Structure 1
Amino acid sequence: MTRTIDVSLDRLRPDRDTLLWAGLVLNTELILTFAYLLLADVTVTEWRYLVFPYVWLNLSVWALVRTTPSADSPRSRYIGATIAVGYFLLLAYVGGLLAPGGHHALGWRVAWLPPGWGPALLYTGTAVKISLFPYKLVGYLTLAYLVYDTVLETAGSAVSGLLGLVSCVSCTWPVVATLAAGLAGSGTAVAAAASEWSYTLGTLAFAATVVLLRWRPTFGRFR
């Protein structure tokens, strides 16, 4: 008895309607971005930071539309949901959506940031600090949803443990940047490089994770 890996790309191949919708979405995003730049009267020095949120949002929408979880039993659904919620909370904490509160309770406010970064809903209390940047919120919810689907489909498979480990890659770069800044000093070249590239590497890791969780090579048997 031998195991093989099914690496079919059918789950990733877009159809004609998908391409048309993708074109419409991209045009809309360009209009929103230029409208913001015109109305906010800001100068952009790093255009990639305007692109990163759209990568997260677009991949998230693509993955959510193409994913339909199915459970064999209520127990599997409960286990999957529990893991997904815990995973989302972990991402939210490590990724900066949730943090310990401050000394002063400032309440809720809205930050009008570039599209995708904002409008961000911010809350500062004595117990918790919440920073809901749209691209991160949607991205982390998407990863949690894909993990939920993965748990349901690969329950009992050896690949599920591996995918669970790999899917955490998307939250590691903010940690690396924070540790580098703390150990090397915020003014050093090492800390600056870690902070600058954390968004780029985090976006690449997020994209790879979404594709991996959506594609999910499956193990089959043949004689």
Structure 2
Amino acid sequence: MNRLAAQFSVEEPSAYLKTAVLALGAQSALALVYLAATDAGLAEPRTLAIPFVWITAAVVGVRHASRPTSTGRIRVVAAVVGIGYGLFLACVTGAVGTAMGAVGGLDVLLLPPGWGPVVRYDGAVVSVFLFPYRAIGYAALAYLVSLAVRDVAEYGTPAGLGGLVALGSCASCALPLVAAFGSALGGAGVGLGTTLTGETYLLATVAYVLSVAVLTVRPTVGT
């Protein structure tokens, strides 16, 4: 008789640490180039660290998440769900929304590394306000959610553990909403100075890292 069990996909801690160190090194190098090539300034250490934490978590998650073998149709469905989830988060944070007034065109704000350069676009239909770290972070979450959907499609129904796998993924899917609302509460002008609401962005960052962690080591089905 086959025994089905949910197993977490966890690698050696050194593997995650190596990826994190490489990601931090690459970000530091890019930040130095950015500061040397632009007039962007620096923020206080805690504020400056937030984008580095988000991007590092995103890189580690995408690099080490298990990738289930799936058919082309399931991949397409999972990709659609992931993209929809990413767009939903973008709308919740105000990164993407409906146009509020006159067309302002495309603009770039040179904020501190990670917070900037901000891409701002005011069109006739939509408006876009993208912090680099959020764009990378939510893109990573969208991808990780698509992998969780592939898990459910491949293993959930046949194994009768769809509810368990979905619970493991959906629990983490709810956490980014906390991060999203936390970021939105801080205001769109967060990067314009060093007056961040520290507790708000700390909550958002913790929620984001937990989200990536759970989706990265999400339970898979074994026999």
Q: Do structure 1's residue 210 and structure 2's residue 208 form an aligned pair?
A: no
> Higher Cα Rg: structure 1 or 2?
1
Q: Do structure 1's residue 170 and structure 2's residue 170 form an aligned pair?
A: no
Residue 191 (structure 2) aligns with: none
1-structure distance, mates of 2:79, 2:40:
44
Q: Displacement, 1:133? A: 1.2
> For residues 165 and 78 of structure 1, do their structure 2 counterparts lie closer, same or farther at Cα, with a shift above 3 Å needed?
same
Q: Displacement, 1:119? A: 1.0
3-state SS of the aligned residue for 1:121?
strand
Contact 1:71 1:77 in 2 (8 A): no
Contact 1:95 1:171 in 2 (8 A): no
3-state SS of the aligned residue for 1:118?
coil
> For residues 60 and 178 of structure 1, do their structure 2 counterparts lie closer, same or farther at Cα, with a shift above 3 Å needed?
closer
Q: Displacement, 1:99? A: 1.6
Q: Write the mapping of 1:61-210 to structure 2, written as runs, cut at 5 A.
A: 61-67=59-65, 69-155=67-153, 156=156, 157-162=162-167, 163-175=169-181, 196-210=198-212
Moved more, 144-153 or 23-32: 23-32
Structure 2: segments with no counterpart, 5+ residues? 157-161, 188-194
1:55-99: CA deviations, max 9, x gaps? 111111122223463443222112211211110111110122102
Contact 1:170 1:203 in 2 (8 A): no
Residue 7 (structure 2) aligns with: 6
Identity value in percent: 30
Q: Displacement, 1:132? A: 1.7
TM-score normalised to structure 1 length: 0.76
Q: Displacement, 1:25? A: 4.2
TM-score normalised to structure 2 length: 0.76
Q: Displacement, 1:120? A: 1.4
3-state SS of the aligned residue for 1:115?
coil
3-state SS of the aligned residue for 1:14?
helix
* CA RMSD, Structure 1 to Structure 2 (Å): 3.3
Structure 1: segments with no counterpart, 5+ residues? 182-191
